[in-house]
């Protein structure tokens, strides 16, 4: 008896589903059939047209409707602007304003992200490097050590040797640092020590194919903040 009840219930469910599908199909067919035409007289604004189709009526758009259309289009375009890693809110708002005034500027950011292809890198550090989200702490030329500060792992050279030196793999080669140290120690003329700008530091490139030789622009915050002495 239980098997018969289950079969009857399943058959009833199948019939109900079939009936619902037939009703939905019939309703769609009836809705799609052309309705009988009826001539009526209405008042329409000047400039209304049916474009040759008696079942179509197009009224002229008002000024505020056109303005809202363009405003919504531009706002949607600005809202989908691709942001740079850890770009500040003020910079992002300024970029959106620039996009509203010059729409193709947003496409440059999209092309930048496409050519970098950071999402195809496997490790997080590779993706961050590819996306331009890494930074390096360096000493600028105006840096001065504190009186009690001890500095390790540094190299020294004179300005003449620096100008005559050559680079290998991005590093400055000093062929004979000992002789340079002796020359500095025996010199009677006053000298000036300053930090040389590292060769791997360059201005932020405006071209996406040279993104490796750039530093983080001012105002960006990459993975927090650190105040160095």
| Contact in structure between 213 and 129 (CB atoms under 8 Å) | no
3-state SS assignment for residue 168:
strand
Of 227, 198, 229, 228, the C-alpha closest to 215 is 198
Q: Alpha-carbon dihedral of residues 164, 165, 166, 171, nearest 10 degrees? A: -150
Of 102, 57, 111, 55, the C-alpha closest to 82 is 111
Q: Two tokens at 56?
A: 């179509």
Q: Two tokens at 126?
A: 């590779």
Cα 96 to Cα 100: distance, rounded to the nearest angstrom = 6
Name beta bridge partners: 58.
49
Q: Alpha-carbon dihedral of residues 216, 220, 224, 227, nearest 10 degrees? A: 80
**pLDDT string in tens for the chain (229-residue length):** 333 333 334 455 556 656 676 666 666 555 544 566 667 777 777 777 777 777 777 878 788 888 888 888 877 877 778 777 777 778 788 888 888 888 777 788 888 888 888 888 888 878 877 777 776 677 766 777 777 777 666 666 556 555 555 444 444 555 565 666 676 666 666 666 666 666 555 544 444 444 444 445 555 544 444 555 5
Phi-psi sector, 224: left (phi>0), alpha (psi -120 to 50), beta: left
| Contact in structure between 201 and 138 (CB atoms under 8 Å) | yes
Neighbouring CB atoms inside 10 A of 106's CB total 19
Give the residue extent of every domain in the chain: 63-131, 139-200
Residue 121 CA neighbour count, 13 Å, CB half: 15
Contacts of 216 (CB under 8 A, 6+ apart): 135, 222
Cα 142 to Cα 61: distance, rounded to the nearest angstrom = 63
3-state SS assignment for residue 224:
coil
Cα 156 to Cα 135: distance, rounded to the nearest angstrom = 25
Name beta bridge partners: 171.
168
User: Distance of alpha carbon 200 from its chain centroid, rounded?
Assistant: 24
- For the chain, first and last CA: distance in Å? 88
């Amino acid at each position: 008896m239980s098997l018969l009840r289950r079969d009857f219930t399943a058959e009833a469910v199948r019939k109900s589903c079939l009936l619902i599908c037939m009703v939905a199909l019939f309703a769609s067919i009836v809705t799609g059939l052309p309705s009988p035409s009826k001539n009526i007289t209405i008042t329409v604004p000047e400039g209304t047209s049916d474009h040759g189709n008696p079942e179509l009526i197009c009224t002229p758009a008002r000024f505020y409707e056109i303005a809202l259309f363009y405003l919504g289009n531009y706002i949607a375009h600005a809202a989908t602007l691709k942001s740079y890693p850890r770009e500040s809110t003020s910079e992002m708002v300024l970029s959106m304003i620039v996009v509203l005034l010059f729409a193709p500027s947003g496409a440059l950011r999209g092309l930048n992200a496409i050519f970098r292809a950071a999402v195809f890198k496997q490790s997080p550090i590779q993706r961050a490097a590819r996306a331009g989200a890494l930074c390096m702490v360096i000493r600028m030329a105006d840096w001065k050590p504190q009186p009690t500060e001890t500095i390790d792992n540094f190299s020294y050279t004179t300005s003449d040797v620096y100008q005559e030196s050559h680079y290998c793999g991005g590093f400055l080669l000093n062929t004979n640092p000992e002789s340079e140290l002796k020359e500095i120690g025996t010199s009677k003329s006053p000298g000036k020590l300053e930090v040389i700008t590292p060769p791997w530091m360059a201005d932020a490139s405006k071209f996406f194919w040279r993104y490796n030789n750039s530093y983080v622009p001012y105002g960006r915050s990459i993975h927090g903040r650190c105040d160095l002495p």
